[in-house]
């Protein structure tokens, strides 16, 4: 690997690389102009990122983003450093050297909405380690031997590694917020007729609105606005078939204040107007 060190910042003189290390040496705080993945193959060690201390063990992978401060306190074992400039994967993310920029690529877009935040550490299970270590081994071999077509295969191995990392992050987010989300869904369904605002719900959960929005999407697969609309329309359909309330009263009973918007949303979801929906249900009975 080839680096240049200037003013506590390491600059990668190539686009990508892998370094296999059998000894863990302490390293003073520094910065990177690239993304670094540190995979612990054996033993334990302690790193810091932006002042946060991360004790790492076998199967852990530390992600150090562009511009984050990093140091190694020490440890024993075997670890692998994977280096990457995001623009190496796609020229469209030049000058945006961070993990979030990668999520803007079309091939990774499905992960963007499911990731509430980028974690600095992911932990792979024993079964997952086999896949991760195989990817790293093939990546290292391609970069070292540089056979014909290695540039294409190297990008492919990097993409596979990123998919593994982002899948693990998505899984952690879903697990972390499963309880909160279930409680929220029950609350929203019970109070859909009220004026519900994402900002207020986020505040009650002690999260900022943007972070809450990503968490909500990660669990339900749709935005808060779309989920609330769906719940209200499903409730409206129920009232149309189970009660004698007028269509206008149904509109207001499920939290809509704009009749035109209610009619438009209902027809989009059910393919017919509220009145036709009621008449069709009555005829079938």
Instruction: Domains for the chain: give ranges and CATH numbers.
Output: 3-173 (2.60.120.280), 178-224 (1.10.10.60), 226-284 (1.10.10.60)
In angstroms, rounded to a whole number, what is the distance separating the alpha carbons of residues 136 and 131?
A: 9
In angstroms, rounded to a whole number, what is the distance separating the alpha carbons of residues 6 and 13?
A: 13
> Using an 8 Å Cβ cutoff, are 187 and 228 in contact?
no
Which whole number is the average pLDDT over 29-37? Answer: 89
Joined together, the tokens standing for residue 122 give 């992911």
Predicted pLDDT at 207: 75
Of 105-119, 191-205, 226-240, 255-269, minimum mean pLDDT range: 105-119
| Span 70-106, pLDDT tens digits | 999 988 889 999 998 877 877 655 544 555 566 555 5
Residue 72, C-beta contacts closer than 8 angstroms, at least 6 positions apart: 24, 25, 26, 27, 45, 46, 47, 48
Binned at pLDDT 50, 70 and 90, residue 177 comes out as low
Binned at pLDDT 50, 70 and 90, residue 108 comes out as low
Predicted pLDDT at 111: 59
Predicted pLDDT at 130: 92
More confident residue, 118 or 217: 217
Joined together, the tokens standing for residue 91 give 């020229």
Answer whether residue 167 shows pLDDT above 90.
Answer: no
User: How many other β-carbons are positioned within 10 Å of the β-carbon of residue 6?
Assistant: 8
In angstroms, rounded to a whole number, what is the distance separating the alpha carbons of residues 172 and 158?
A: 21
Range 116-134 burial, b when 16+ CB lie within 10 A, else e:
beebbbbbbeeeebeebee
Joined together, the tokens standing for residue 167 give 């899948």
Binned at pLDDT 50, 70 and 90, residue 179 comes out as very low
* Phi and psi at residue 247, to the nearest 5°: -60, -40
| Span 248-263, pLDDT tens digits | 999 999 999 999 999 9
More confident residue, 178 or 228: 228
In angstroms, rounded to a whole number, what is the distance separating the alpha carbons of residues 49 and 34?
A: 14
* Phi and psi at residue 62, to the nearest 5°: -95, 130
Residue whose token pair is 């020490």: 74
Which run of H or E residues covers position 187? Answer: helix 150-190
Average pLDDT of every residue of the chain: 84
- Residue 195's Cβ-count burial label (10 Å; 0-12, 13-18, 19+) is exposed
């Amino acid at each position: 690997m080839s680096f240049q060190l200037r003013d506590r910042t390491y600059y990668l003189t190539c686009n990508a690389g892998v370094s296999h290390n059998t000894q863990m040496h302490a390293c003073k705080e520094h910065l990177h102009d690239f993304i670094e993945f540190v995979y612990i193959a054996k033993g334990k060690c302690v790193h810091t990122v932006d002042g946060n201390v991360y004790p790492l063990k076998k199967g852990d992978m530390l992600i150090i983003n562009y511009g984050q401060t990093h140091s190694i306190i020490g440890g024993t074992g075997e670890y692998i450093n994977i280096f990457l400039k995001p623009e190496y994967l796609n020229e469209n993310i030049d000058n945006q050297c961070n993990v979030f920029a990668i999520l803007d690529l079309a091939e990774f877009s499905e992960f963007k909405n499911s990731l509430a935040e980028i974690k600095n550490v992911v932990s792979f299970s024993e079964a997952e380690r086999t896949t991760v270590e195989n990817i790293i081994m093939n990546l290292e071999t391609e970069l070292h031997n540089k056979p014909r077509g290695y540039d294409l295969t190297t990008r492919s191995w990097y993409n596979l590694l990123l998919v593994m990392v982002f899948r693990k992050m998505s899984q952690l987010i879903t697990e972390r917020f499963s309880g909160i989300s279930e409680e929220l869904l029950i609350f929203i369904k019970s109070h859909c007729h009220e004026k519900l605002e994402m900002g207020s719900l986020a505040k009650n959960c002690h999260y900022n609105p943007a972070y809450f929005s990503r968490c909500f999407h990660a669990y339900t697969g749709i935005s808060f606005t779309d989920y609330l609309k769906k719940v209200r329309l499903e409730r409206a359909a129920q009232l149309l078939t189970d009660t004698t309330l007028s269509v206008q009263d149904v509109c207001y009973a499920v939290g809509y204040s704009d009749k035109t918007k209610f009619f438009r949303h209902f027809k989009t979801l059910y393919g017919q107007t509220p009145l036709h929906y009621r008449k069709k249900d009555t005829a079938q009975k």
